[in-house]
Amino acid sequence: MVLATSLWGSFAALPARAAIETDPEVLYQTMRRAYDEGAGKGWPFASELYYQSTVFDAGRAYSLFRPDDAQYGEVAILTVDVATQLHYNPLVNNDAALWYVLEASDWVSKNADVQHVAEAKALLQRTSAGENDPNFLAQQAEQDALANAADFHRDGDALVELIVTDVRAYNLTHDAQYRSLLLDHAADPTLPLVRVPDPESTEMFSIAERALTEAGFSEADRANARTIKYRRDHTPELKLIGRVSAIPRELRLTRTAPADEYFGNLKMSPLGVHNEVVRINKYLDVGWGAQMASDALQLDSSVEDWQKQYPHDFTLPRNLLDLYKLLMRVATPTTREAATRVKYLLLVQYANSPQAQELSAS
């Protein structure tokens, strides 16, 4: 793993303070700790992923609040490095940071040394290629997950990423090939099924059960499903109906946008966003339609700003789905264009949310 060592001295003397999600200096300290922890553990896949997340968070904060800071470029180069090493794919990655990865790649492609310019151009091309083609994006995600499994010598968490990829690719495209790949990977005795996170774990077992009882599955699918059932029946931890990952209160506070934070041109708070959705929909109910386009686009600006600053906010997927439906109801060329962007953001970067699954099913 790489780290731009020129950054270390700049923050060494920073005083301890509350972890604020949008503070570049605090997020850099988190990145530094993640690097130290990963190095101490010998960089298993999970540590690499965590470090990547902290790099993205720090870079995002510099972009939003200190774009002219000299450290912006240093963290942008780090972003390109870690995204390249970990075969970054927006469908599988849980950081909802595609906009920043694209921005960092563009900056590095124009400002860095020859090696990093080549890396950045390649990353920019591959992360842009799937934006308008879900099938290509899903295929690319599968290739990236297989590459990580190989690069990390079939590390258990890298293998689990295959399951996450297959579930999300199937939900995005409804292509049965990803359903078959899911069953094939889950039947592998070296893949630790107990580590598969929800909701992908629930969907994995649901597909396996359907393969045993429904038409439309191959004989190979059914054989793999029987293996998965056997593994589940003989692994006590897998008999649990569901598992909940508790988030410490301190971390939850840094991930959720504060009630008094204001976003977009109209400076709407999270509650203000909700109220504006309700207000605009009432006008649409009585036929105002295109007359609400300007208000709808202002609302879109607020939600976009919110997402960029607090991408881990667990309330965002619901707000994104509400916004998408509203933009489609207004039904002008500009709101449809905005709705397409919101749909992609929800389906790809929040692919594990119930709202993404609801939109995909519709």
Q: What is the pLDDT of residues 153-210, one digit of tens each?
A: 999 999 999 999 999 999 999 999 999 999 999 999 999 999 999 999 999 999 999 9
Residue 31 in tokens: 């990145």
**Planar angle of CA 105, 106, 110, nearest 5 degrees:** 110
pLDDT, residue 22, reads 80
Instruction: Report residues of the chain scoring pLDDT below 50.
Output: 4-19, 241-242, 244-253
3-state helix/strand/coil string of the chain: CCCCHHHHHHHCCCCCCCCCCCCHHHHHHHHHHHHHHHHHHCCCHHHHHHHHHHHHHHHHHHHHHCCCCCHHHHHHHHHHHHHHHCCCCCCCCCCCCHHHHHHHHHHHHHHCCHHHHHHHHHHHHHHHHCCCCHHHHHHHHHHHHHHHHHHCCCCHHHHHHHHHHHHHHHHHHCCHHHHHHHHHHHCCCCCCHHHCCCCHHHHHHHHHHHHHHCCCCCHHHHHHHHHHHHHHHCCHHHHCCCCCCCCCHHHHHHHCCCCCCCECCCCECHHHHHHHHHHHHHHHHCCCHHHHHHHHHHHHHHHHHHHHHCCCCCCHHHHHHHHHHHHHHHCCHHHHHHHHHHHHHHHHHCCCCHHHHHHHHC
How far is Cα 223 from Cα 208, in angstroms, rounded to an integer? Answer: 10
- Kindly report the CA angle at 339 between 343 and 64, in degrees rounded to 5? 80
Q: What is the pLDDT of residue 2?
A: 55
Look up the pTM and report it: 0.89
C-beta separation of 139 from 168 below 8 A: no
Q: Please give the structure tokens belonging to residue 358.
A: 């609801």
Bridge partner residues of 268 (DSSP): 263
End-to-end CA distance of the chain: 41
What is the pLDDT at residue 247?
Answer: 44
> Hey, what are 362's tokens?
């519709």
Q: What is the pLDDT of residues 305-322, one digit of tens each?
A: 999 999 999 999 999 999
pLDDT at 6: 37
CA 241 to chain centroid, in Å, comes to: 25
